[in-house]
Structures are given as C-alpha cells and as structure tokens.
A = this chain, B = another copy of it.
Amino acid sequence: MTARTDTRTRILRKGAQLIHARGYNATGLQEILTGAGVPKGSFYFYFKSKEDFGLQLIDYYAAFIGGIFSRFLDDTSIGPVERIGRLFDFYEDFFTQKSCGLGCPIGNLSLELGDTSGRFRGRLSAAIESLIAKLESCLMDMKREGAIPSSVDTAEAARFIFHGFEGAILHMKVTRNIGPIRSFRKCVLEYLHAPRVDARNK
C-alpha cells in the first residue's frame, strides 16, 4: 500500500465507522479527519467534497459487505442452502456482538440520503443490486441442485430476501434485540422451501 492509498483508506475507514454509528449528516468532516489523524488539506487531495467522499464511502461499504456475502455464498465446497444459512449465522453473531445496534450501512444511507441527490441514489442502487445479485446466484445454484423448484423466480426471490433482511435489521436496530433477525431467517426458509410442494402438485 502506498502512502497515498493509505491516507485515502484511513479517511474512508474512519468515516465508515463514524457514519455507520451516527449517520452522514450528523458526522462532520473535521471529526473524521481528526479521528483518522489526517490534515484537512489532505482530504481535498482525495475527495472533491463531502458528497464525493459520501459516494466513495458507499462503494467502500458495498465492497466490504459484498466481501462478506461472497465469503459465504460463493463457497462451493458446501451446498447452496447451507451457504445462505451460514451467511445468516454470521450476521446473527455479528449483530449480537454489536449489541444489535448500527444496522446495515447501505440501508442506513439509503433512507438518509435517498431523497437528497441522484448521484447518491445511483450509487446506493448499484450497491444494493450487487448484493441482490450475490443472493440470486446462490438461489440459482439451489435451483440447479433441486433444493428449490424450477418455478421459483430467482431474481424476485433474491430481492424479497434482501428486502426482508433490511427490514429485519431496521426492526432489530430499534428493539436492540436479535429476535427480528431470527424471525426473518425462519420465515425466509419457509418461503424458500414452500414452493417445492407447489411444484410437486403441478
């Protein structure tokens, strides 16, 4: 890592941490720079404005969460049903360790910034699509292996799982309880497995 990328990464990492906890509008640039130990002049070397920083931060979060999704969902050494199960196991542990706070940074920024600018929306939308695509790829493997019937619309099912997950995280965040995540997981498995019976009756 060069000094240049190192400074940029330090700013993004500290910004990611503070904005995850407090939101984009409530976090000042100065706070991020002080926390990262970087002078203000350096910030404008890497980022044109706070908005430009926000856009790069969305990519940073998307790559981070995408890495977690891939670690579990792309692990073809185990079956696709087990892979999605392990992803949920990971998040259940992760959120429990974080006292069920913070939530999903992409979800948080979607609601906070979704109405502010088309640039934010475009970047958040791309981040969400990339995560849904990873879920869909796993559902397609389930279909190929006969774990879910060929009648399942994997694109729609992947969106539905993503939507339910974001909503469950939102609910967890206000109750500070892992219950909504567990309840969501149980219902997703019911949803994924139920159509098999339909297919048998065709």
A6 at the interface (CB under 8 A from B): no
Surface stretch bound by B, among A73-81, A82-90, A163-171? A163-171
- A166 CB contacts on chain B under 8 angstroms: 163, 166-167, 170-171
Closest residue on chain B to residue A129 by CB atoms: B175
Which residues of chain A (90-130) have a CB below 8 Å from chain B? Answer: 101-103, 107-108, 110-112, 114-116, 121, 124-125, 128
Main secondary structure of the interface of A (DSSP, over half): helix
* A100, chain B: closest CB distance, angstroms: 10
* Copies of this polypeptide in the complex: 2
Bound together, the chains give a CA A148 to CA B94 distance in angstroms of: 35
**A26 interface hit (Cβ, 8 Å):** yes
Q: How many residues of A contact B (CB 8 A)?
A: 49
Closest 4 CB pairs of A and B: A163-B167, A194-B194, A166-B167, A114-B173
19 sample A-B contacts, Cβ–Cβ < 8 Å, listed by A number: A23-B23, A101-B114, A102-B115, A103-B111, A103-B115, A110-B171, A111-B173, A124-B174, A128-B175, A159-B184, A160-B183, A160-B187, A163-B184, A164-B167, A166-B167, A167-B167, A167-B168, A191-B194, A194-B198
Seed contacts A103-B114, A162-B167, A163-B163; 20 additional CB < 8 Å A-B pairs: A21-B115, A22-B115, A23-B112, A25-B25, A103-B111, A108-B112, A111-B111, A111-B173, A114-B174, A159-B180, A162-B171, A163-B164, A166-B166, A166-B170, A167-B167, A170-B170, A190-B191, A190-B194, A194-B194, A194-B195
